[in-house]
Chains A and B, each alone.
Chain A
Amino acid sequence: MTWVSASDRKRSALAVGMLATVSTILFSLPVFDRFDGLDTDLLHYLSVTDTSGVTGGDASPVAVIAVTEATHRAPAFNHLPKVMWTPEIALVQEAVLEAGATVFAWDIVLPTSAAAYVADRERDKPLLKSLFQRGRKEGRIILGETRLGEEPISPHASFAHVAGGASNLRHLNVYVEPDGVVRGVPLLFQGAEDVAPRRLTGMAFEVALRHVGAELEMDTDGNVVFGDSRVPTVDGRNALVRFDTTPGAIPTYSFHDIYRCAKEGRTDYLHDAFNGRAVLFGAVLDVEDRNLTSERFARHADMAARPTPCSDAAQMTPTVVRNATPGVYVHANAVINLLSGSMIERAGRGVRVLMMFLAIAVSAFATMRWRPHRAAMVVGLEIVVIGIVAVVLFRGSYQTPLVMPIVAALTVYGVVVAYRVLIGDRARRQLHETFKRYLDPKVIDTMLESGDVPRLGGESLELTCFFSDIAKFSGISERMPPNELVRFLNTYFQIAGAAIEQEGGIIERFEGDAILAVFGAPIRHEDHATRAVRAAFRMEQSLSQADSRGAFEIPGNLPVLTRIGVNSGEMTVGNVGSERRHSYTVMGDAVNLSARLEGANKQFGTTILVGETTRVAAGDIFEWMEVDRVRVVGRAEPVRVYTPLGVPGEVDERMLRWRETYGAALEAYRDRRFDEARQAFESLAQKGFEPAAFARERCDQMIAASPPADWDGVTNLISK
């Protein structure tokens, strides 16, 4: 987790794993299987392909003859109760079967006869003859019946009887999922008594069997086999229909058009339309027989892209787009599914759990790893991938979970983000609040993402402290009115601060004309000592350049010189202050020493003084000159102090020679050869090498009053 320390990464990985596992178990509970239906519907919608230019399903093995609203308006049927249409139905049925249709299946139930309605004993006879010959004798007619309550709604006994009875009578009930949406058909019904399984086939399955002339087959596990393949089912009996949502995929003819066609003897048209096809006789009406099905989102107008009608008089305008599908298409699509082996198979429990786990794990990882807006993009991308995978597989009639993995991924995202906002990111916000005065927010984020963050409660670290002050600031301030002094200081701090920040240091505080900066915290830089020395050089250079171009506007053209003390060592850092006001503070003996070294510059005539620990830590990146060994106020232990001369190769030879001379003189001084030392220091001082002037004075003091026998050669600095 980025809002906690790097040491928590393993714990974070464990948290991701646990969250993913627990969430997977939760979201894979069977109670969520009810969303499978919604998945089916959405996948139908998402699988809709470009339908521009579609003109009808020439390759469809199934055709539909539908009673339409136009049928009711046609002269032959207008005002005539449908129970009296039996001669016309017989004519169409005969013509279609004569044209080569494999089977004529009724998705319309005629529970009464015309003879029971009007005193016309002859009216039904054409239909009775057709049912007798084509149904009972040839087995090419299947009548439909249905049952919603206790009593079935069956064809009139005369029709059922002459058509062959139960062998040519099939149920038209459909498979409804708990949300009330029709998504399939029963392949086999459960018999109330012991009858041959073939008698229990649903209408669509029976049509498919007759179309190919096959017998009912079941494997040893009781699964229905069609062709050479097991037909996937939900529960062993009900199969999910994959609707072909392409307009015109199932060629549909209006009943009155085919009636007229048959009456006019247009056998060529009828042959082209129905030869070799299974024909379903149903209704595509505005009100009756419409079901909310899996294609409820992938809607298109009824009769859209239908085949060219037989008669110009049968031209129809497609109806408005509806959510509900005419029932005949449920059976028609089911037949096509069976014939093409494209019944929907839903993924098993194992695949579902695996997909759920992956979706949740990705979401959990992204949300815990990155900030919410970035994680949201990852989760969004994940959702797109889930959708694409589901659609691709669905086009092969294999349904994988869609809604629940997305819901789970979003839920996990929401939970983790909430956790971060309420709990986890509290530490993150605290860091931002603490360091916003010191660091660019992006730097804080980088620090957080690296996992290497400071402990605000306090920690002891090896750091380098940087202390600077303006030389002769009192003289400068006396010459300037307050407003100009403030402007001067602001300019000075802007330039000086930039030098520090460019090297990765933070300014812990401004104090008068002084700057206290820290290197190595809160951003971990192993080369904090080098950076601090480099910052000192950079500051000097920047101030000098600014001064040259008159940026400071000091009356009397006093130069702006800064004195810098740098020291490395173990320091304590952390948030110090009251609850309302606190700051990131560095404390410790090493800090004090840096301040002392800054002040010592005044005596040694140097501008940068570096403690021994900094010299050692920075190594030979710079050319150094040992200035002295000093004992500062409040610190018993002496410390060697150095001044950096520059980067090797860039320091001029004269300075290097002076360093040699100074070093040798310092050696002589410590060896009590004060005259020798003084002579050498004097020569350097006369050349303008200021540290040598102070050394010469110390030599004079030693010559004037010989030091005691236990003198250790250390210079005691008496001022802070």
Chain B
Amino acid sequence: MTVMAPLAERVLRGEQSAVARALTQVERRAPGTDALLAPLHRAAGRAHVIGVTGPPGSGKSTLVSAMAAEYRGAGRTVGIIAVDPSSVFTGGAILGDRIRMSALAGDPGVFIRSLATRGALGGLARAALDAVTVLDAAGRDVVVLETVGVGQAEVDVVSGAQSVAVVSVPGLGDGVQAIKAGLLEIADVHVVNKSDREGADRTAAELCEMLRLGKRRPGQWNVPIERTAADRGDGVRALIDRFDEHLRWMERVGERERRTRRAAATRIRWAAEELIRDRLRPGTGAFDAAVDEVAAKRDDPASAARRLIGQL
């Protein structure tokens, strides 16, 4: 048995500064992260994890802010992970989601953390889901994961959530086209935000049409289309009721269990890939020997890889 990291104990007690430190460690994948996360993983699983995604300018941050206010009104604590892109060139980022979440500032029942994608280093999905684990273990009732809906990495991120909301807005040309195919499929709830604007009916109708074209099985979750005007809070109450309904449905039909297992499988694979990357690299004896063999044509890459993995 390993002794629990003192930081983990403090996270489990819900101490703000400890949660903040743990999130930094998770984001950097600093040494000791696995040991920190081990007890947190075991404690996590109580929170309702909600993914919110959609095209830039669809009002995700404002919507998340309004959702959090609604949850607070119902006496539930909230954690928010807001993912923003880093510059590919400098690695820098301006993380502006907090500006639109100012109504929440000063309430210890809401913990907001901005996460930059940090360029091509990869592992964004992993860092984001580990961050969710930290907030979950810290006792947050609801954890919201907000990300721009472009690219596979973002789809990976939100697919780690239990309920996924895809946000669209009227007036983005052919509204539905702005939603990438991969996103349409993972939506548990569609949100037409800024629905006080012209064209909201059309956007909702297009979404409805799109959903009707999809294949359906009996007993399947009926993906609803919710209309909100998040800046005024309109429709947000109904939206969080939908999330609750989705959670109850998942529990009733065993879908929550299925998603938990799927997430577990993904995370084991990520951890395994990291272990392999970590062990198999130039500088370790067995690896360098294998490089010599393959370069000299005495062995082939696939066989060498199988042999090395067997030796791990």
Genuine A/B complex: no
